[in-house]
Structure 1
Amino acid sequence: MLQLDSLLTQPKWRVIDQSTLGSLFEAKQSFAIDDTLCASVGKNSSPATLRSWVHHQTIVLGIQDTKLPHLQEAVSFLHSKGYHVIVRNSGGLAVVLDQDVLNLSLIFPDTEKGIDINRGYDAMVDLISYLLAEYDVTFEAREIVGSYCPGSYDLSINGKKFAGISQRRLRGGIAVQIYLCVSGSGSDRAEIIKQFYERGKGEVQTKISFPTIVPSTMASLSELLHVNLTIPTIMFSVLTTLKKLGGQLETSQLTESELFVYEENMKRMVDRNEKALGM
């Protein structure tokens, strides 16, 4: 049951669908775009925004991952497996993105009173509840030990994680982001991250506690539901849900003024990655 004060009940949703841009669309761009939209929504020059995004063969590292003692060796391993590697502009740990992983960002204005951090997470959990309602399945929001990028808002079915939620607050805006493993092998993705950490840490005892990945703790929704799900199918359900909740949907791209801010944010992302990865 949707709570009356759920952030999903917006009068208008701006929709930016970037789920079909293909392999040339880089993950660095996505994080710069979300920061741009946080600023626009935060100053009320944009309504609440849904952005969908897909990136091919990409490993997104958190800032903490760059402290691995053998980082370059670990990154070289990922490159040898055909993955692009970037460092995002926020916390968390390594995640796998590919053509079967859908990312969604819900971007809200923070109010004068301030939106409680759990309320932001709960909005995304509400959305996933709607998406899975037709499948007669129960999912949990709790940390799945052994998964990659573990957190208290890991989403799982029967102990197997299929999604993770993060949150970024910037310039009066709140971006609640989820990576949703729609299809493919969750354990194969986890195996890549397991080997990344094994190579990156080596035999060194680190002050930072990096996760020990157990590939069997992860699966895709298609695997868990025994249904052949696709990203377009999920996207249709997302848009239908927001419309049912009373929101007017308005498809959009970045405005001219937003593109100027985006270029500045993109430069910061490029500089961050050059500094962290030397590339």
Structure 2
Amino acid sequence: MVQDIGAGAGFAGERAAGDPLPAGKPPTWRLVVTDDRDPAFHMALDEAMVELVRTGRVPPTLRLYTWRPRSLSLGMNQAVREAVDLEAVKALGVGLVRRPSGGRTVFHDREVTYSIVVPENDPRIPEGVMDAFRRLTEGLVAAFHALGLRTAELQTPEAAAPKSGSPVCFESPGAYELVIGGKKAAGSAQARLGGVLLQHGSVPLSYDEAAMFRLFYFPNEAAREQARERFRRTATAIEAELGRPVRVEALKAALVEGFSRALGIRFVPEPLTPEEAALAERLVREKYGRPEWTFRR
């Protein structure tokens, strides 16, 4: 059972009765909650945290956040006009930003997004990219189990779906992504930046399917409808699986519990440092808030 947490509340990664405890006192990482910020700030803060973790000025960090306005994030190498319908983005008042990580476009709406920033040489992080991805995604699996979704699991490489030409991230689950009954229920991307691992991902409670498929670019309506039908077969969300509403705070608590169990660490809630907040604001002005970055491709 998980408990709700908020931006000012603490959660130290308690274990359920009967779970084995690690030998000795578990190491601590920082927990930061930054809700309802705009998309440029969120991506700028991820990069700012990478810099401060790299130089040892802040410890490894789990950040949980929500978006305002609801937003699209582009993969690092996506071409904007091949991924999103810019007229629909403007008409629906949706934010748009380019991530520092790869992958396809994600619609951040009714969800919690997580980011983990940790040195690559941390003993809890395997060396290989896919091994590290698998290890961190085990935290998502544990979080879903804490919510009662016991059938959540990692997609095996053998069952991973081939990439389609669609811009929609959730349309095809890749190796070691979280699935329920073969359907993708969370999407994550990873970047290695100067000896620091950044993994961030979207954990949706539910989808606004009508808005999503209006926002993504398709060459014609037939292609849009085909992608929509594939999405219905290959993607799911927490509330659809549980058959009931779930509070954002309950999902946050489950994510903290899940990563604590998977990594064997304890989280200590802390605010942003003035230095990383200032660096994030500078990165908004100089990079993530500028069209030269968003429309670089």
- Report the TM-score when normalising by structure 1: 0.76
CA shift digits 1:13-63 (9 cap, x unpaired): 101111xx33xx111111111111112222222221000011132111224
Distance 2:103 2:220 in 1: 21
2:91 is the counterpart of 1:89: no
Structure 1 residues 89 and 249: CA distance shift in structure 2, 3 A: closer
2:213 is the counterpart of 1:197: no
Partner of 2:119: 109
Partner of 1:269: 288
Greater Cα shift, 213-222 or 46-55: 213-222
CA shift digits 1:176-221 (9 cap, x unpaired): 1110012x2364465335xx221xx459xxxxxxx95533122211
Distance 1:185 1:275 in 2: 28
Structure 1 residues 218 and 246: CA distance shift in structure 2, 3 A: closer
Counterpart among 252, 265, 274 of residue 256 in structure 1: 274
Measured after TM superposition, the shift of residue 232 of structure 1 is: 0.5
Q: Give the secondary structure class of the aligned counterpart of 1:85.
A: strand
Partner of 1:50: 62
Counterpart among 61, 71, 84 of residue 74 in structure 2: 61
Partner of 1:174: 197
Q: Give the secondary structure class of the aligned counterpart of 2:179.
A: strand
Structure 1 residues 259 and 227: CA distance shift in structure 2, 3 A: same
Q: Report % sequence identity.
A: 19
Distance 2:72 2:208 in 1: 14
Structure 1 residues 10 and 110: CA distance shift in structure 2, 3 A: farther
Q: Give the secondary structure class of the aligned counterpart of 2:186.
A: strand
Structure 1: which amino acid aligns with 2:183? Answer: K
Structure 2's unaligned 5+ residue stretches are 1-18
Measured after TM superposition, the shift of residue 67 of structure 1 is: 5.2
Partner of 1:78: 89
Greater Cα shift, 27-36 or 110-119: 110-119
Q: How does 1:1-279 map to 2 (within 5 A)?
A: 11-18=27-34, 21-22=35-36, 25-56=37-68, 57-66=70-79, 68=81, 74-98=85-109, 100-111=110-121, 115-134=127-146, 135=148, 136-141=150-155, 143-144=160-161, 148-149=168-169, 150=172, 151-182=174-205, 184-185=206-207, 187-188=209-210, 190-193=212-215, 196-198=216-218, 201=219, 212=227, 214-216=230-232, 217-241=234-258, 247-266=265-284, 267-271=286-290, 273-274=291-292, 276-277=294-295
Cα pair 1:63 1:90 within 8 Å, conserved: yes
State the structure with bigger RCO (CA 8 A, min sep 6), 1 or 2.
Answer: 2
Measured after TM superposition, the shift of residue 224 of structure 1 is: 1.6
Partner of 1:206: none
Measured after TM superposition, the shift of residue 95 of structure 1 is: 0.8
Measured after TM superposition, the shift of residue 84 of structure 1 is: 1.9
Structure 1: which amino acid aligns with 2:115? Answer: S
Structure 1: which amino acid aligns with 2:242? Answer: L
Measured after TM superposition, the shift of residue 127 of structure 1 is: 0.9
How many pairs align? 253
Q: Give the secondary structure class of the aligned counterpart of 2:79.
A: helix
Greater Cα shift, 55-64 or 112-121: 112-121
